Amino acid sequence: MPEARTYGRRRAVPARKAEQESFDTGRSDGTVSRREVITGRVVKSGSASTHQAGWDDVDKVASAAGGGDLYLKVSENRMVIKILGDGPFDVFASHWIDEIEDGSKSIRCWGNATCPLCQIGDKAKRFSACFDVVSMEDPEVPVMKVWDVGIKIARQLKDIANDDKRGPLNRPDLYFTIRKETKKKSVEYTLERVKERDLDEEYNVPPLGAEELHAFQAECHEYGDRVKEPLDEDAMEEIVRLLMDDA
């Protein structure tokens, strides 16, 4: 059984383990460098894999493990991130049900004509495209997160991904900055490309090493994994009854 991913978690690595699996840090005192702390655990070198993702077929059934700190939290402060896949691993729309009093009000749309909520006229209002990224908010301890983006940023990323000169998104020398700005009642996000060579000078952020990057890539979601599972038919029908009773 595969080990659950440890998105956003940081835990100390035993000194002996750090010595055995150090990523060429040159340390012999058993201390842990930032290159040894990968998604909360030491990842052996040589475990690299290439994450393949896509833009079209996103309805394959799979489940994704993750902790409470799974998602990237974008703030007003500009944050450097590294996108690990060449596209989103999960794309979906969500219904928002205010009438739900206990539990999440966000319900994943089934994405087809059989969705019970769509059938009664409740339209899915929120778009989500999910990417595996490395947050470099703390440059000394980069952390793997899931970045859930809306349609505007998703389209910007798709344009970059499909551009031979700017893409793909997971080019080794390509990073991004992201920040949000609240204007009256709306929130706007600003995305900018950053070349690896400019990271240290412009943002005081060292780029990821090759071994470090490969270790993060080995932890990526597979294409088609879901960060939010759809409800089954019984649960959806219960929500339909709730809405119809309140009508």
pLDDT tens digits for range 80-138 = 999 999 999 999 999 999 998 888 899 999 998 899 999 999 999 999 999 999 999 99
Retrieve residue 149's tokens. 């983006």
Dihedral sign (CA 138, 142, 144, 150): positive
Q: Letter for the amino acid at 62?
A: A
Q: How many domains does the structure of the chain reveal?
A: 1
Do 238 and 169 touch, CB atoms closer than 8 A? no
Q: Is 192 a domain residue?
A: yes
According to the model, what pLDDT value does residue 52 have?
34
According to the model, what pLDDT value does residue 101 have?
86
According to the model, what pLDDT value does residue 246 have?
66
Whole-angstrom distance, CA of residue 157 vs CA of residue 168: 9
Low-confidence ranges of the chain (pLDDT < 50): 1-68
Q: Is 118 a domain residue?
A: yes
According to the model, what pLDDT value does residue 184 have?
79
Retrieve residue 244's tokens. 């119809």
Whole-angstrom distance, CA of residue 146 vs CA of residue 5: 11
Q: How far apart are the first and last CA of the chain?
A: 46
Q: What is the span of the domain harbouring residue 212? A: 51-246
Q: Is 42 a domain residue?
A: no
Q: Is 172 a domain residue?
A: yes
The pTM score is 0.71
Do 203 and 80 touch, CB atoms closer than 8 A? yes
According to the model, what pLDDT value does residue 247 have?
57
Residue 168: cis peptide before it, omega within 30 degrees of 0: yes
According to the model, what pLDDT value does residue 102 have?
82
Q: Is 203 a domain residue?
A: yes
* Residue in 53, 8, 66, 5 with CA at minimum distance from that of residue 157: 53
